[in-house]
Chain A
Amino acid sequence: MMAPADILFFALAALILLTGALVAFRPRPIESALWLILNFFLTSALYVLLGAHFVAVIQVLVYAGAIVVLFTFVILLLNLNPQELGAGQAVPWTSFVLLIGTITAILLCFHVATPELLRPLPKLSHPDTFGTVESFSVYLLKNYVWSFELAGVLLLLAVIGVGLLAYRKPKSVHGSSQQKDSSKTQGQKGAA
């Protein structure tokens, strides 16, 4: 007899795999990005089922809220036609890659399908506080504070790097004439 939580878990897992396949194999990037949002929301629901409430919130906020929106912005900014995307032509090794990927997934599944690992998940010792913001933060700042700081430094470096990569000099003719004008007016003001 299956408990409702079990049925929910298997339904969510099936939907996650379905949306994952749609993300990976839909031809246009915008469709992939939109299916990715649904995939992240379903994964977040799975995290709630696993007792990771704070992680579920982070998943929706950061992944579905920030990262996919960034993808969507870039897709809409570039506004590519199918020829620029290389649509309509498959790479020559498509079927080989699919075969190898399927075999790898099946072998990995067989590798972990041991009786020891197939036992039901153990009961939590403190189910009320597991995965809440408080216990998460205390655990993070007690044991992993240097990793946390390093992650902050990495984010700062990424911001600087992206700024340098995406920066383009403004059009020289227009910009220089504006600068001259502004310096002139400033000089006149100073003289007055």
Chain B
Amino acid sequence: MVHVSIAHILFLSFGLFCMGGCGFLIRKNALSLLICLELMLNGVNVALVGFSRFYGNESGHILYFLVITVAACETAVGLAVVLNLFRLKKNIRMDEATNLKG
């Protein structure tokens, strides 16, 4: 690695994060929303591992480990909520899930 710098790793991270964010805002169904969330978390993880390499200690790896724990919990709970939404509405379109709007 002669030319790669922390800035290059951060470019990749920002690209993934913004793509996930755009996808989150323009998708219509709940499953795609959760998948785009995973993409955003993946972008954050790239930055964490890059900083860990930059500073030469393992703190970033630990934080990565905690992030994927939370991501696994979030995915499981989110998918259970999607299943219940499907039972309730017979579709998973986000624009029809407006029961909490009041």
Contact A24 B36 (CB under 8 A): yes
Which chain B residues numbered 19 to 50 have a C-beta less than 8 Å away from chain A? Answer: 19-23, 25-26, 28-29, 31-32, 34-36, 38-39, 42-43, 45-46, 49-50
Contact A67 B72 (CB under 8 A): yes
| Contact mask for chain A residues 92-122; partner B; CB cutoff 8 A; 1 contact, 0 none | 0110011001101100110011100111111
In the complex, which residues of chain A have a beta carbon less than 8 angstroms from the beta carbon of B66? 147, 151
Contact of A78 (CB < 8 Å), options: B9, B43, B56, B86 = B86
In the complex, A13→B87 CA distance in Å?
40
Contact B5 A47 (CB under 8 A): no
Given A24-B36, A51-B53, CB of A13 within 8 Å of CB of B8: yes
| Contact mask for chain A residues 103-147; partner B; CB cutoff 8 A; 1 contact, 0 none | 011001100111001111110110000110001100110011001
In the complex, which residues of chain A have a beta carbon less than 8 angstroms from the beta carbon of B70? 151, 154
In the complex, which residues of chain B have a beta carbon less than 8 angstroms from the beta carbon of A168? 87
Contact B75 A70 (CB under 8 A): yes
Q: Is A191 part of the contact surface with B, judged by Cβ < 8 Å?
A: no
Interface size on B, residues (CB 8 A): 74
Q: Is A173 part of the contact surface with B, judged by Cβ < 8 Å?
A: no
Interface size on A, residues (CB 8 A): 92
Given A117-B5, A117-B6, CB of A50 within 8 Å of CB of B50: yes
Contact B5 A118 (CB under 8 A): yes
Which chain B residues numbered 52 to 66 have a C-beta less than 8 Å away from chain A? Answer: 52-54, 56-59, 61-62, 64-66
In the complex, A33→B44 CA distance in Å?
19
Contact A50 B49 (CB under 8 A): yes
Q: How distant is A69 from chain B, measured CB to nearest CB, in Å?
A: 11
In the complex, which residues of chain A have a beta carbon less than 8 angstroms from the beta carbon of B83? 74, 77-78, 165-166
Q: Is B88 part of the contact surface with A, judged by Cβ < 8 Å?
A: no
CB<8 Å pairs between A and B, sample of 14:
A5-B1, A20-B16, A24-B23, A43-B46, A71-B34, A84-B91, A87-B28, A90-B26, A93-B25, A108-B14, A112-B7, A120-B1, A136-B62, A155-B72
Q: Which residues of B contact A (CB under 8 A)?
A: 1-12, 14-23, 25-26, 28-29, 31-32, 34-36, 38-39, 42-43, 45-46, 49-50, 52-54, 56-59, 61-62, 64-66, 68-73, 75-77, 79-84, 86-87, 90-95
Q: Which residues of A contact B (CB under 8 A)?
A: 2-3, 5-6, 9-10, 13, 16-17, 20-21, 23-25, 29, 32-33, 36, 39-40, 43, 46-47, 49-52, 54-55, 58-59, 62-63, 66-68, 70-71, 74-75, 77-78, 80, 83-87, 89-91, 93-94, 97-98, 101-102, 104-105, 108-109, 112-114, 117-122, 124-125, 130-131, 135-136, 139-140, 143-144, 147, 151, 154-155, 157-159, 161-162, 165-166, 168
